[in-house]
Chain A
Amino acid sequence: MNVTFPHRALPWLLLLPQLAVTAIFFLWPAEKAVEQAFYQEDAFGLSREFVGLENFIDLLTDPYYYESIVVTLIFSFSVAFLGIAVALALAIMANRVIKAQLFYQTLLIWPYAVAPALAGVIWWIMFDPSIGPVAQWLKFWGIQWNHYLNSTDAMILVVIAATWKQISYNFLFFLAGLQAVPKSLIEAAAIDGASPIKRFWTIVFPLLSPTTFFLLVVNLVYAFFDTFGIIDATTGGGPGQSTKIMVYKVFDDGFIGLDLGSSAAQSVILMGIVGIMTVIQFRFIERKVQY
């Protein structure tokens, strides 16, 4: 944009609301988090002392923190992988049935609107050991299900709930990606006698790889930060530490454990991770524009 309005004060006036909200609710808390990460505060906030990097050192030597990292990685990659695989399969099928496409799309996208906490609760009732139909069905096949006591079961439960919510999002992006694949390429391959499966793996899938990579990053960010409600409403991080993802631990240590220094140090680490992921996402988008 070369043509602009010659005003000096007006742009500041227009920017003021957003800058004010950003400063008060983003920069100030972020600065507070960084500051607190270097202090040890008692639970009542009466006194505090500067401890340098001690909070970070404590964290990095804390086996619970490592467990939380491992749990987060298992959870996020399971959600991302499952969500992408299921959505891709559904999108490929939906791309084949042109006439009924909108019908299926409508019936597949609505879970996006369901709050994570609610998704957690309805999957909990499905899998509840005493009343859940799925738990009963598993019992019929000789599998004892109890996500209250068994950590693997608890992890599977939160992964299913989180994936269920994310399929709609991935589906829409894959469908858009599939529709952008040039028909002429597919036709040429079909004339050369390539089967639908071969055409998918040699033409469609490689052309979809930018979409897939983009969705991988978005899904990981989603699993890292937006699934708090699922964990809190269903397992509460338990049994033991088995579903305590890092975002949940920040909350748990800060508000329940009242260990402000440690919670702040974890916030700072998480901010670093979000920063890195945002940069990856943006670099990727820049690259896609040049395609």
Chain B
Amino acid sequence: MIENRPWLTVLSHIILLLGVCAVALPIWIALVASTHTPEAFVQGVIPLWFGDHGAETWGKVLFSAAGNGVDVPVWFMMMNSLIMALAIAFGKIAISIISAYAIVFFRFPMRSLCFWIIFMTLMLPVEVRIMPTYQVISDLSLLNSYTGLALPLIASATATFLFRQSFLTIPGELVEAARIDGAGPWRFFFDILLPMSRTNIAALFVILFIYGWNQYLWPLLITTDDAYFTLVMSIKRMVSVADGAIEWNSVMATTMLAMLPPVIVVVGMQKLFVKGLVDSEK
């Protein structure tokens, strides 16, 4: 603190608390809404305090079919979301760490061409080329499959860049020492590079898990079979009914369940999350 200005400190706390409240307010309302019966909404505004139907709604949402054309319960879709998020996170980390390894530690013809091809994918988010990507997946008959859900989202230049940047800082002496001691490329990769990249892998995992879990448009398009529905996309089906017929209490309970896992990951692994976020943008 440069100088002592108590009123400024108090003001800082007030503004921060206001910010925290404004950020948390919608979640409060959503949580409260999920503890009332659907009738509570017919009468008028959402009450601002908890009702006593919370356990009932949450239990119903979790374990019985979601309705409105979705014949599977929320816990089942959570499993699908989990499979998709983990497949994307692990798949991305695996293929990008080995390709960054190849680009940094080997010299071969067309090395920079390969790098540029990977770099180009930064410019093509799936939303932009949605129609042709859908056609490709349908040509490969991967609609309604876990492979179709995860594979197209696995290639990404960001993860490759992150690993490339960190590999470039590894001193050449280390490689030389490993080679003198008789370590081949595989041994160097598994015994030296992987242990050194542990924190990077963990930080990237946090970011990619959130990215995978929160996918919306892609699963919405390529799944027509309930067995592959993910939780975030199912929200769209639950609110796509006639106005006034939306069961807000179930929708809000589902929404809370859908945001819980990634929020827990962010809050629980805050340090890794911040590192992953800052690093993957550089």
Contacts and interface: CB of A to CB of B under 8 A. Distances in A.
A130 B123 CA distance: 42
A36 B45 contact: no
Contact of A29 (B107, B135, B160, B281): B135
A125 B30 contact: yes
Contacts of A196: 5, 8
Interface residues of A, number: 99
A131 B248 contact: yes
B236 A232 contact: yes
Contact of A108 (B23, B44, B255): B23
Contacts of A97: 9, 12-13, 16
A123 to B, nearest CB: 6
Contacts of A214: 281
Contact of B123 (A112, A247, A271): A271
Interface in A96-112: 96-98, 100, 104-112
A4 B263 contact: no
Contacts of A110: 263, 266-267
B173 to A, nearest CB: 8
Interface string B101-138: 11111111001001001101111110111111111100
Interface string A173-187: 100100000010011
Contact of A14 (B25, B99, B259): B99
A46 interface: no
A275 B125 CA distance: 11
Contact of B185 (A7, A33, A271): A7
B132 A264 contact: yes
A8 B127 CA distance: 37
B227 interface: no
A254 B130 contact: yes
A97 B217 CA distance: 40
A1 B172 CA distance: 6
A18 B282 CA distance: 21
B212 to A, nearest CB: 11
A113 B265 contact: yes
Interface string A258-286: 00100110010011001100100000010
Contacts of B263: 110, 113-114
Interface residues of B, number: 108
A25 B96 CA distance: 15
Contacts of B61: none
A74 interface: no
Contact of B105 (A4, A12, A25, A183): A4
B12 to A, nearest CB: 4
Contact of B129 (A30, A255, A285): A30
A201 B180 CA distance: 57
Contacts of A186: 2
Interface stretch (B50-58, B66-74, B194-202, B270-278): B270-278
A5 interface: yes
B155 interface: yes
Interface in B27-62: 27, 29-30, 33, 41, 44-46, 48
B99 A109 contact: no
B108 A11 contact: yes
Interface stretch (A55-63, A64-72, A75-83, A164-172): A164-172
Listed from nearest, the 3 A-B pairs whose CB atoms lie closest are A115-B214, A32-B132, A29-B132
Given A7-B108, A105-B270, A196-B5, 13 more contacts: A4-B175, A7-B106, A12-B108, A14-B99, A21-B95, A22-B120, A97-B13, A109-B273, A113-B266, A125-B248, A164-B23, A255-B134, A270-B128
6 contacts: A4-B105, A86-B19, A113-B262, A114-B263, A226-B127, A232-B216
Interface of A: 1-5, 7-8, 10-12, 14-15, 17-19, 21-30, 32-33, 36, 86, 89-90, 93-94, 96-98, 100, 104-118, 121-126, 130-133, 136, 148, 164, 167-169, 172-173, 176, 183, 186-187, 190, 196, 214, 218, 225-226, 228-229, 232-233, 247, 250-251, 254-255, 260, 263-264, 267, 270-271, 274-275, 278, 285
